[in-house]
Amino acid sequence: MDEKSQSTTVRCPALVVAAPSSGSGKTTVVAAIARHFSNQGLKVRVFKTGPDFIDPHFLSFASGHPVYQLDFWMCGEEHCKQMVAEAAQEADLILIEGVMGMFDGVCSTADIAETLGIPILAVIDAGSMAQTFGAIAYGLANFRQEIEMYGVFANRVGSATHAEMLSEALPENLTFFGYFPKDSGLTIPERHLGLVQAQELEDLDTKLNLAASLVAQHSRLALPTEVEFTLKQIKPQSRMLDGRVIAVARDKAFSFIYQANLDLLVEMGAHIEYFSPIEKQPLPPCDAIYFPGGYPELYLDVLSEHYRLKEQVVKHVSDGKPILAECGGMLYLNNSLTGLNNQKVPLASILNANSHMQSKLAALGLVEGELTPNETLRGHTFHYSKTDSHEQILCYPISQRGRILDPVWQKGQVVASYIHWYFPSNPELVAKIFRGEL
């Protein structure tokens, strides 16, 4: 069979939401639109451009469905296209939140929109401008001719009169989609890695419904035009982890998990058992452990005092069973972590390493690591701590721009690093990690 006969065409309304810069309000706009149409009984599927973890939690809460990341380098272009096409099969609307500024990065929001053939809704913070709003919108629309603009949305607007001025400033070929008023009560607290997590906000549902009502009140809210996607018939994933039980730490301290990673483990035959270290839950009986990243530095006392879990993890390692620890998950396995208050707290002491938090960013970017000869895994790093480790160095990851980063360390079948790995970038290598074959 040729490639054409192994694929089908699917159609679904879709929008990419972009902005001139970070902090313009993309997440709030996407969440508001998702919640509005979800409240109407429609199925909304949301994606996030780039390797972000925090925004997807809000978008998942708003839409009621898991959110997946899109990045052509980290995930692979064909993989991204397939995920969106699969979503289009079942969704009434697809929304893709952009990253940084519209044209920023190796895989920019504009690249995503152009490659997938989806029009862009541009969100501009208009809080301190009037006619300049039109100039910025014109620049976004005309910087690259391959981009199709759906419309422009204004954030932090002072009044209805202000909104009218902004609309009048737009070129005739650009539609004023709508606006959010300033001081609308939609602000979400922030911390060193970005916004506070969705699961930490007790009033998040109220905020999302407010955002949905505001976007309906002040916008031309209708489903966009359908976009055509190609859905390919792909071979089922080889069940390389068939029958293996993987315990996954999952709570407010260990929450930076790609949904695509969990999906892949299940597709490969693994059974996942979740447990919460900060709720002092014990380690479930398992063949392997996955400690993802998150905010362990905010829960040091409870993690330090969870003696049963420490003992169980020590025995797990002494039995030769594998662990994959990413960023915050690695910090937990180290001897200690010193917080920003300079208090040194003992942790699991699996790895002969000590870490300390710092106020400035230590590393940020997409990375690739050669964990075994000629076998690489991709992911990203974003952390505010430093680690002094005496464990064996498995490899030095290389950033997308060619910079050598903090090592991947190995102790027995424990693989630990600052990298949040994207498992679908190399399923075979991931299976080797969780089978303890590195």
* Contact yes or no for 371/377 (Cβ under 8 A): yes
CA–CA dist 182, 190 (Å, integer):
18
- Strand order in 414-417's β-sheet? 271-275, 245-249, 288-291, 323-326, 414-417, 408-411, 392-395
Contact 148, 140 (CB under 8 A): no
Question: Is residue 63 within 8 Å of residue 87, measured between CB atoms?
Answer: no
Q: Sign of the C-alpha dihedral, residues 239, 53, 253, 433?
A: positive
Burial per residue of 313-343, b for 16 or more beta-carbon CB atoms within 10 angstroms, e otherwise: beebbeeebbbbbbbbbbbbbbbbbbeeeee
Which residues are CB-contacts of 198 (< 8 A; sequence separation ≥ 6)? Answer: 54, 57, 58, 60, 61, 204
Residue 327 bears catalytic tag: yes
Cα–Cα dist 346/339, whole Å: 11
Q: Which of 12, 75, 107, 327 is catalytic?
A: 327
Question: What phi and psi values does residue 197 have, to the nearest 5 degrees?
Answer: -70, 150
**Residues taking part in catalysis:** 327
